[in-house]
Structure 1
Amino acid sequence: MYDNNHPYLQPSFFIDSDHPDIIEFADTLCSDCHTPVQRAITLYYAVRDRILYDPYDLGYSRDSMRASAILKKGKGYCVAKAVLLAALGRRQKIPCRLGFGDVTNHLTTPKLRALMGTDIFIYHGYTEMLLDRKWVKATPAFNLSLCERFGVKPLEFDGQADSIFHEFDTRGRKHMEYLRDRGTFVDVPFDEIFSAYRKTYPGFAENFATALNHSAVDNFL
């Protein structure tokens, strides 16, 4: 158990682990867990599968990026789901931070590639959890039902080994590759991320505002 003053246990603006909804959800999920690793695994699968992945749900709004808002909405893209997992982990006394990297997605749909103008996804988000004195990466982005429908291997998590990206789909085709490590943060570097989005994806705000009307399932990455 880590000291309550640990910097990665503190609530923050986006990782609002002290919000009543976050507290109730985390405590209910982990009521029968007895170790930090058990709690981490339980929280990971809850976020992975109960919060639906939506690549278009990234509107420019600070409030909508808060963990409590993501939990209430029940969906989000990779960064949003990483934020929620970090908040739940902090509530359960697991030090958590956010990590980011740029990835190439070889199986991006033509529709999404046209929208973005590239198959490179910058600031792909994941959570790092301090377990047994070691930082372990966890990426709860793609929910199980979505993976099964589109033939992508779901990411598993055992609290010991890094779970960071879908290297291959179920047919052995290359799916994702990491290109650049963007580092780790105690909270969401909101301005930095959205500034980079606008530079990398021309027409970002207009295109994604329009795309919000589409379903995540029909436009899976």
Structure 2
Amino acid sequence: MKYLTTTYYFDFEDTSIQKLIASCKDNSISNKEKAIAVYNKVRDDWKYDPYSISLSKENFRASVIAQKTSGNCVEKSILLIACLRALEIPARLHLGKVKNHIAVERLTEKFGSNELTPHGMVNVFLNEKWLKLSPAFNASLCRKFNVTPLEFDGENDSFLQQYNDNGSLFMEYTADYGHFEDVPLAFMKRNVKEHYPHIFDTDEDITEFKL
């Protein structure tokens, strides 16, 4: 299956990825248990950071992301996909657009909007069906904003925290760009320039910016 292969971006043969999945290689552990374990690891061991964005090709490699301590939603999704494929569990990238409703002051100041795009999540194939899951928001960040962390049970979708624990609207998906076999960097660059034109005052290729 094409969603099991190694690619330039999902370079799971790299030592850094192999170290991440070492504890899950036990054949006595089910694919469901392996998927839950690597999901929790990526969700919580890399802090969510939406403000440092690199669109250079190299920085979207799973092996490069693995060396960091934080990442945005797309980066963390790429890392999780690489881990899942390394464990022979089919996985692919899914992109969309989300609107945040809590703690959006800095987001609005930097991006000119409370919408984030492209927003990354993961599709994983378990028990003969594709599931959606998002490893973006680490548990400590969720607790800070009074939002229940997304748990993944290996059987149901786990990608949307619509409300916080007080019942206030937290986030919503406003567009779905579908799933991708590999990282669609050209599409992502066009998407960023279209939605945040004030950040770029030239037609030059986007590589990296920090907000």
User: 3-state SS of the aligned residue for 2:36?
Assistant: helix
- Cα–Cα, structure 1 residues 205 and 12, in superposed 2: closer, same or farther, change >3 Å? farther
Q: How many angstroms does 1:199 deviate by?
A: 1.4
Does 2:9 match 1:21?
no
Stretch moving more, 19-28 or 154-163: 19-28
Does 2:12 match 1:12?
no
Q: 2:20 corresponds to which letter in structure 1?
A: F
- After superposition, what is the alpha-carbon deviation per residue over 1:137-175, rounded to whole angstroms, capped at 9, x for unaligned? 110000011111121221110011001111011211001
- Cα–Cα, structure 1 residues 137 and 117, in superposed 2: closer, same or farther, change >3 Å? same
Alignment equivalent of 2:29, drawn from 22, 30, 34: 34
Alignment equivalent of 2:118, drawn from 101, 107, 123: 123
For 2:182 and 2:86, the matched residues in 1 are separated by 15
Contact 1:30 1:42 in 2 (8 A): no
* TM value normalised by structure 1: 0.87
For 1:187 and 1:32, the matched residues in 2 are separated by 27
User: 3-state SS of the aligned residue for 2:38?
Assistant: helix
For 1:78 and 1:12, the matched residues in 2 are separated by 19
**1:82 is matched with which residue?**
77
User: 3-state SS of the aligned residue for 1:209?
Assistant: strand
Stretch moving more, 25-34 or 177-186: 25-34
- 5 Å matches for 1:166-181? 166-181=161-176
For 1:32 and 1:204, the matched residues in 2 are separated by 49
- Cα–Cα, structure 1 residues 30 and 49, in superposed 2: closer, same or farther, change >3 Å? farther
Contact 2:52 2:210 in 1 (8 A): no
Q: How many angstroms does 1:28 deviate by?
A: 2.7
User: 3-state SS of the aligned residue for 1:87?
Assistant: helix
Query: Unaligned stretches of 5+ in structure 1?
Result: 1-5, 212-221
Query: Unaligned stretches of 5+ in structure 2?
Result: 202-207
Percent identical pairs in the alignment equals 36
Q: After TM superposition, what 4+ stretches of structure 1 lie above 6 angstroms from structure 2?
A: none
* Number of positions where the alignment pairs a residue of Structure 1 with one of Structure 2: 205
For 1:33 and 1:183, the matched residues in 2 are separated by 34
**RMSD between aligned alpha carbons?**
1.7
Q: How many angstroms does 1:121 deviate by?
A: 1.6
Q: How many angstroms does 1:83 deviate by?
A: 0.3
Q: 2:111 corresponds to which letter in structure 1?
A: M
- After superposition, what is the alpha-carbon deviation per residue over 1:31-63, rounded to whole angstroms, capped at 9, x for unaligned? 486100000000000000011111112122111
**1:160 is matched with which residue?**
155
Q: How many angstroms does 1:109 deviate by?
A: 2.0
- Cα–Cα, structure 1 residues 44 and 120, in superposed 2: closer, same or farther, change >3 Å? same
Q: How many angstroms does 1:20 deviate by?
A: 1.6
Contact 2:91 2:122 in 1 (8 A): yes
User: 3-state SS of the aligned residue for 2:54?
Assistant: coil
- Cα–Cα, structure 1 residues 172 and 62, in superposed 2: closer, same or farther, change >3 Å? same
